[in-house]
Amino acid sequence: MLKISSETIKKCASEAGFSFSGISSLVDFSKEVQNFKESIQNGYHAKMGYLERNIEERFAIDTLLPNCKSVIVNLFNYNIGKALNSNYRVSRYAFVRDYHQLVSEQLEKMVSLIKQHNNHFNYSISVDSGRISEKNWAVKSGLGYYGKNGIFLTPQGSFFFIGLILIDQEVDQYDQPLPDNSNFCGNCSFCIESCPTKAIVKPFVVDARQCLSYQTLSNKNPDFDLVKEHPWIYGCDICQEVCPKNKKSVIHELAVSNSSLFLHFEDSDFENLTKEQFDHYFKHTSIGSKGYEKLIQFIKNRQQ
């Protein structure tokens, strides 16, 4: 059976709206597994107990697609070039509609385009929807590095969603990780110095217990004393905002055309938000899945 052309795959990725695409064969993740286990042992995962379970499966791609041969990693730029005119801060990835749906749609479009050239493969897609560590695959496919803030970082910054296409077919050419001896962040420590809660305990290691994103997104019992002095009510972008690499971030028109409806909100819009308004303005965003009551909790906590 003929191998699928990597050039064709990347052309299809561009046509589907992805800024960058890399392709990896199945690789060894033993070092990454060890680093992950050490983070768990130190309690840096906070109360996210699911991270403690089935750790090896997190790095075993065939749990999503049996007989997987290739992993296609695609980066979707979500920079729309806007900011909220409000003292309440929301992570900019919520400025576009729910990325699980948006990126999944573009991945399916990409698969359809590839199948016009080669239809002899089975596939599975992943957009932050399973145990698989998409950031690790992005590194393995040569698209970038981990930044010192633990976020995947490219030469054009970190404002990217990651979407995987797994296929049970070999590709004619695979990408390689960028050289290990390349210190992408150099001596820069802006993210570490700027984190308001000192959640980045050392380069590349984040203690979720102190992270505003964890508190406002994932913690079922948020530490309101920790977050109330800060303006973030959904996520936190500080470590990304200060990153010099993000000065090279460009606006993506496809992201702009999928912008969320609440971007005109001012302080009073958040403070007087009704359930009906929440359903209208946030229904198709990642915020909508967290629910009205949780968002209101953080708004009221900020007012105290």
Q: Is 128 a catalytic residue?
A: yes
CA 223 – CA 154 distance, rounded (Å): 32
CA 10 – CA 22 distance, rounded (Å): 8
pLDDT for the residue 45: 64
Scan for tokens 């296609």, then name that residue.
72
Phi first, then psi, for residue 240 (nearest 5°) are -85, -35
Phi first, then psi, for residue 176 (nearest 5°) are -110, 150
The mean of the pLDDT values for the chain is 91
Note the pTM of the prediction, 2 decimals.
0.92
Average pLDDT over residues 41-48: 67
CA 257 from centre of chain: 20
Summarised one tens digit per residue, pLDDT across range 179-204 is 864 578 999 999 999 999 999 999 99
Those residues whose C-beta lies under 8 Å from the C-beta of residue 233, and which sit 6 or more positions away, are 88, 89, 90, 216, 270, 295, 298, 299, 302
CA 117 – CA 169 distance, rounded (Å): 13
CA 5 – CA 159 distance, rounded (Å): 28
Summarised one tens digit per residue, pLDDT across range 54-104 is 666 666 787 889 999 999 999 999 999 999 999 999 999 999 999 999 999
Active-site choice (128, 168, 223, 267): 128
Across the strands, what pairs with 124?
A: 166
Say which range, 133-137, 182-186, 258-262, has the weakest mean pLDDT: 182-186
SS3 (DSSP) at 28: coil
